[in-house]
Amino acid sequence: MLLVNQIRENFDQYLAGLQKRNFAGAEEVLQKAIEWDDLRRSTQIQRDQLQAESNALSKEIGLLMREGKRDEANAIKEKTAGLKLETKALEDQYTEAEEKLKELLYTIPNIPHSSVPAGKSAEDNEVVLENGAIPVLPENKLPHWDLIKKYDIIDFDLGVKIAGAGFPVYKGKGARLQRALINFFLDQAIAAGFQEVQPPIVVNEESGYGTGQLPDKEGQMYHATADNLFLIPTAEVPITNMYRDVILDEGDFPVKNVGYTPCFRREAGSWGAHVRGLNRLHQFDKVEIVQITHPERSYKALEEMSLYVQDLLQKLELPYRVLRLCGGDMGFTSALTYDMEVYSAAQERWLEVSSVSNFETYQSNRLKLRFRGEDKKTQLAHSLNGSALALPRIVASILENNQTEDGILMPKVLQPYLGFDKID
């Protein structure tokens, strides 16, 4: 959530940033936020003045009563009664203005970093780098949805029977590959200084608002209405919310957490080959890394997180590229996002496998996540997160890129976790 005082001080910059996002009615929305804040401030001043006057009169009433001047005291009491009614009306007006301002700020996305390219869709994203050679596959190469049937390692039909489309059943070496990747990703993160946590996979409404899933993505989450709980779309939500209403010390930075969770998304996308098989699911596994850090060091942390994810892809021997997302393709809460895509040689297309993002103060303002500096004053921290990694498309790429006439070779780094070197 944006800070209204920053909107005031940087109006033209914020307007340009929202226009880079192609946010409709940006100028009107920003101006309306200032108007609601003006009303809130003026109401607060009037309320405080009336309260001070009422307090002064109350002291005068006490003095008059002690002096035996009951009639004068009663006359002032009538005046204070009127002041209380006026104060109550101002309090109601203040509460309404504050709520309207908050509701409006919830609808405004984060302001893009200056390095974010302009653009409207994924076609306008900037390719930062490419790494690794595209594998040459046999002429009879198969996409992963055919490979999993051939080797009987993932069953989509059984998942439909049990739950519905988008809920696959992993079995045999397919299940072991899932477990191996999860353990590998967790071990790598722990070695890089991230503390492992195992958070809940449901969150309350306050947590959803804290990291920006609500109200922006309400329709994309599974909602347990009886308890008003939401199945998490990513471990970012519960892990970041561990620090809601927390004041850290500057010496605590960087705070680095990693967690594995299943993830759930109702909106799994449109029909077509680009979302077939493991390309997009309603339930999937993911290892997530989260950082809370000092504002002056957050962009250095973002670059380090990008390099960390790239290192995982290199160890898995997968060709990949890094994209800097344009304003029109960025997530609602992000100030800058890098996407990592792996090349699928069987599908002959790039598959997104990770996003790493810096949210600056957007989440921490909602979360009231602050830190105390050397001067003992508090300020908002910066939050970051990244997929490290999401499993479905990693599995799809491993299966497709490593297929041979005799089976599917497993990356060397996973073999100690798997106990086998090939799916056949």
CB 335 within 8 A of CB 110: yes
Shared-domain flag, residues 79 and 187: no
**Complete edge-to-edge strand list for the sheet that includes strand 403-404:** 403-404, 407-409, 422-423
Domain assignment of residue 93, given as a range: 4-106
pLDDT band at 79; cut points 50, 70, 90: confident
CB 394 within 8 A of CB 184: no
255-264 and 195-196: which strand pairing? parallel
| CATH code, domain carrying 96 | 1.10.287
Shared-domain flag, residues 134 and 84: no
Instruction: Identify whether 184 is part of a domain.
Output: yes
pLDDT, residue 69, reads: 77
Helix, strand, or coil (residue 344)? strand
Shared-domain flag, residues 78 and 137: no
DSSP 56: H
pLDDT, residue 274, reads: 63
pLDDT digits (tens, 9 = 90+) for 206-222: 999 999 999 988 889 99
pLDDT digits (tens, 9 = 90+) for 4-16: 999 999 999 999 9
Helix, strand, or coil (residue 352)? strand
56, 81, 106 - which closes a domain: 106
Instruction: Identify whether 117 is part of a domain.
Output: no
106, 137, 160 - which closes a domain: 106
pLDDT band at 199; cut points 50, 70, 90: very high
Shared-domain flag, residues 204 and 247: yes
Shared-domain flag, residues 216 and 85: no
pLDDT at residue 305 tops 80: yes
Instruction: Identify whether 114 is part of a domain.
Output: no
pLDDT at residue 98 tops 60: yes
Instruction: Identify whether 195 is part of a domain.
Output: yes
pLDDT at residue 273 tops 60: no
Look at the chain and count its residues: 424
Instruction: Identify whether 112 is part of a domain.
Output: no
pLDDT, residue 76, reads: 78
Shared-domain flag, residues 362 and 269: yes
Which residues are within 8 A (CB) of 368 and not within 5 positions of it... i.e. 6 or more apart? 244, 245
pLDDT, residue 65, reads: 77
pLDDT, residue 272, reads: 52
pTM of the model: 0.92
Mean pLDDT, residues 92-120 taken together: 96
pLDDT digits (tens, 9 = 90+) for 202-260: 999 999 999 999 998 888 999 999 999 999 999 999 999 999 999 999 999 999 999 99
- Residue written as tokens 């002291």? 59
Split into its structural domains, the chain has a count of 2
The mean predicted confidence, pLDDT, of the chain is 94
Shared-domain flag, residues 30 and 140: no
Shared-domain flag, residues 300 and 414: yes
Mean pLDDT, residues 166-184 taken together: 98
pLDDT, residue 78, reads: 75
Q: Find, among 229, 241, 237, the residue nearest to 288 by Cα.
A: 237
Q: Which helix (H) or strand (E) holds 263?
A: strand 255-264
Shared-domain flag, residues 287 and 315: yes
DSSP 313: H
CB 118 within 8 A of CB 314: no
Instruction: Identify whether 347 is part of a domain.
Output: yes
- CA 379 to CA 398: how far, in whole Å? 44
Distances (CA, A) of 141 to 19, 340, 346, 383: 45, 24, 6, 42
Which residues are within 8 A (CB) of 170 and not within 5 positions of it... i.e. 6 or more apart? 153, 154, 177, 178
Instruction: Identify whether 115 is part of a domain.
Output: no
CB 156 within 8 A of CB 396: no
Shared-domain flag, residues 94 and 194: no
- CA 287 to CA 337: how far, in whole Å? 18
* Axis-axis angle for helices 26-66, 70-106 (nearest 10): 160
- State the Rg of the chain over Cα: 27
pLDDT, residue 236, reads: 98
Kindly give the residue spans of alpha helices, DSSP state H, lying in 192-247. Answer: 205-211, 236-241
Instruction: Identify whether 283 is part of a domain.
Output: yes
Shared-domain flag, residues 25 and 85: yes
Mean pLDDT, residues 358-367 taken together: 98
DSSP 305: H
| CATH code, domain carrying 316 | 3.30.930.10
* Axis-axis angle for helices 391-401, 144-151 (nearest 10): 80
Shared-domain flag, residues 88 and 171: no
Side-chain-side CA neighbours of residue 231 (13 Å)? 16
- CA 148 to CA 203: how far, in whole Å? 33
Helix, strand, or coil (residue 360)? coil
Side-chain-side CA neighbours of residue 211 (13 Å)? 25
pLDDT at residue 280 tops 60: yes
pLDDT, residue 323, reads: 98
77, 106, 135 - which closes a domain: 106
Tokens of 59: 């002291």
